[in-house]
Amino acid sequence: MKDDAKPRDLEDRTFRFAELVRGFVKQLPRTISNTEDVRQLVRSSGSVAANWIEADEALSRKDFLMRVKICRKE
């Protein structure tokens, strides 16, 4: 596997994760208690992919590590 294939693979996997989360929440019952939890879950799942893309394009190692930590928090 080429070195540049790994970051791309992680980008694809995080994007796919966000898609799977969206599919999952569509199956949940629509209740008042689920509404905010579903919104937060969808936002967080997409945020992981977005933050990984930002990390992949980081200007420095310090910036990269900070953005990866954000991904892990999400």
Q: What distances in angstroms separate CA 56 from CA 19, 32, 62, one per listed residue?
A: 20, 38, 12
Q: Alpha-carbon distance 74 to 55, whole Å?
A: 14
pLDDT of residue 25: 94
pLDDT of residue 1: 42
pLDDT of residue 50: 86
pLDDT of residue 72: 81
Q: Decide: residue 8, CB within 10 A, 0-12 exposed, 13-18 middle, 19+ buried.
A: exposed
pLDDT of residue 19: 94
Assigned token pair, 2: 């080429």
pTM of the model: 0.70
Domain ranges of the chain: 5-73
Q: Which residues of the chain have pLDDT under 50?
A: 1
